[in-house]
Every structure is written in structure tokens, then in C-alpha cells.
Amino acid sequence: MRSPVSRRQFLKSTVFAAGAAVVGTGPAAAGPGTEEEPLATLIDISRCIGCEECVYACNDANARKFPEPEKPFPTMYPSRVPVEDWSDQRDVTDRLTPYNWLYIQYATGTKDGEEITLTIPRRCMHCQNPPCVKLCPWGAAKQQPSGLSRIDSQLCLGGSKCKDVCPWDIPQRQTGVGLYLDILPAFAGNGVMYKCDRCYDRLEKGEQPACIEACPEQVQVIGRRSEIIALAKERAQEMNGHIYGLDENGGTHTLYVSPVPFDQLTYDTGKGKPHLKPVKDTMADGSNLALALVIAPVAGAAAALGKFYNRIKEEA
């Protein structure tokens, strides 16, 4: 279903559900991604019916960003970095993959003495202080002023540091694509990491992320984080519910509200299926802070070099 919210309305208001502006904050309201305050999304899982319209919308909207690997893959020395190839399983939607940046997680819990099933859209949490960005040694992961984080597929070497430091193991590797093939095919990270980029390109055009626009139940709302937090608290109060993302990993730009406490949910978890446990602030850890300080200049130089290499390659 296409949202009746026009681009003009989107630019005028700051908090949106698919189909309706929920809150507007007057003259300070600007377009998405202002530097005044980052945007956040609220995912109200009590509303989700598990139809996967959001999943298919995400796949359609982002298909041109998906990897097209070259085969056969180079042999790695040593072979410590495994080949990860999802190119023949592009239709998989029951977990995160390089070709599926959003999936619906099934969970059960008890509400008012009755067992209920909940369906939870899962993707990158877009942390306020993202370790995937701060600890990427190649400067390939960046955070934009709008609060979203994204991995530049032109610069990523697939070393998986972002996934290793992500509390939810969100980024997913595809082998046989990216810069490593040109510079260190046998020694670098064996691919490129992929994840939800919160439809940065749609936001830049004044459009909503595809998953939000496609949802028939207005499960997701996007707006300034302070307003999203206020809305999350309001919804939580209405349903006597619980919020996830206020403090997890130091606070995220994706918040969930649930009628069942998150630590009382039972759900399928594992590879490509993130948990919903409490998470301490990764970047508050002294060694990560120190590492981030060391990495920052190196990552900046590496990113500049990677961009220069890509430009030369394009012009050749």
C-alpha cells in the first residue's frame, strides 16, 4: 500500500507513521536528517501481523545495492575467513542475509495469563554511538547526522569487524564482491558486509524508508528521537508495555515497544537472528574507546585511499 503522506507533508512534519503524520513540532520541523536531532524509528510490535510486506518492500527498494559476486572466489591464505555466499539464496527471508536486511522474528510470551505470539521486524538498531562505525579499521562504516549508520560497499573489505563488535551481529558478509578482489584477494576480508542503511537515499529525497511506507498496519513511526521516545512511552503506558532501545548499547535509533517484557519473550535466535537481551554500552568500555581513538585517523586515511582507488578505477 502506498502511503498517502505526500513528500511535502513528510518535509513539514517530523514524526510519521505510514499513512499518517502523528506528531508535528512546529517551525523547528525540518526535513529528515537534520543536524538538529537525529531521527529514530519506533516499532510497535503489538501492531505487527507478520505479513512481510515490509520485508519485500525493503528487498525491492534496495535490490540495486545488493551484491553481484564474481565466481569462482579467490582462495584465502590462511583460510581463516570463511567464504559466505548467499547469492544463490536470495529468496531467504527468515533471517538477515546480504540480500535480506529485514526479517520477521516470531516470539511467544504471556500477556494477562494467555500465551500470545508476536511478530517482530528485525534489522539494524542504528545505535547512537555505533561500535560498527567507531571500530571499522577501513573507515567503510559511517554514521550520518540523521543518526543512521551505513556501510560503504565501495570501501568495505569484508573483514567483519563491524559484525564482531555489533551486540546483535547485524552485518552480513557476501564473498566475491568489493575492493578486496582488486587489492588483496587472498588476504583481505573476503567480501563486503551488508545491512539496513535505513533507506538513506529515500530519506534524502524526502521519502519514508520503504518498510515504513509499505506496512499496512502502521507498525513503524519515524521522527526525531525525543519525540519517538515520548511516543514509545505513551504507547507503552497504553498497553502496560515495555520499551527496548532506550539504553541498549547506550541507546539506539530504533526503539521497540512490546506488550510483553523483552526478557520474557521466547524467540528463535542464532546466525542472522538477533536477540532482544539487555546490552551494555559497548563504546563505554575503556579498551574500545582507546581502540576507537587509535583507529580514527587510520580509518580516515584508508577510506580516502579507497575512494581515490575507486575514482582512478572508474576513470580508467
For residue 78, whether the previous peptide bond is cis, meaning omega lies within 30 degrees of 0, is yes
Among 5, 118, 192, 219, binds ligand SF4 (CB under 6 A): 219
Grid cell of 104 as nine digits: 520477521
Grid cell of 28 as nine digits: 523547528
Rg over CA atoms, the chain: 20
Binding residue count for ligand SF4, defined by CB under 6 A: 41
Q: Does 49 bind ligand SF4 (CB under 6 A)?
A: yes
- The pairing of strands 39-44 and 103-111 is unpaired
In the block, residue with C-alpha cell 539464496: 89
Among 192, 199, 236, 260, binds ligand SF4 (CB under 6 A): 199
- Shortest Cβ 253–ligand SF4 spacing (Å): 8
Q: Does 291 bind ligand SF4 (CB under 6 A)?
A: no
| CA distances (Å), origin 148, targets 52, 191, 271 | 23, 22, 23
Q: Does 122 bind ligand SF4 (CB under 6 A)?
A: no
3-class SS of residue 51: coil
Among 52, 152, 227, 248, binds ligand SF4 (CB under 6 A): 52
Among 44, 84, 152, 197, binds ligand SF4 (CB under 6 A): 197
CB 195 within 8 A of CB 101: yes
Nearest CB to ligand SF4, comparing residues 43 and 76: 43
The residues that bridge with 295 in the sheet, in sequence order, are none
> Cα separation of 255 and 208, whole Å?
17
Q: Does 155 bind ligand SF4 (CB under 6 A)?
A: no
> Cα separation of 188 and 255, whole Å?
35
Q: Does 265 bind ligand SF4 (CB under 6 A)?
A: no
Nearest CB to ligand SF4, comparing residues 76 and 136: 136
Nearest CB to ligand SF4, comparing residues 49 and 290: 49
- Shortest Cβ 200–ligand SF4 spacing (Å): 8
What one-letter code names the amino acid at 169? D
> Cα separation of 187 and 23, whole Å?
51
Q: Does 136 bind ligand SF4 (CB under 6 A)?
A: no
Q: Does 58 bind ligand SF4 (CB under 6 A)?
A: yes
Among 21, 51, 291, 305, binds ligand SF4 (CB under 6 A): 51
* Choices 91-99, 161-169, 177-185, 302-310 (CB under 6 A): range interacting with ligand SF4: 161-169
Q: Does 150 bind ligand SF4 (CB under 6 A)?
A: no
Q: What count of residues does the chain have?
A: 316
Half-sphere exposure of 6 toward its Cβ, with a 13 Å CA cutoff? 3
Q: Which residues bind ligand SF4 (CB under 6 A)?
A: 48-54, 58, 61-62, 101-102, 104, 119, 121, 123-127, 130-132, 149, 162, 166, 168, 170-171, 195-199, 209-211, 214-215, 217, 219
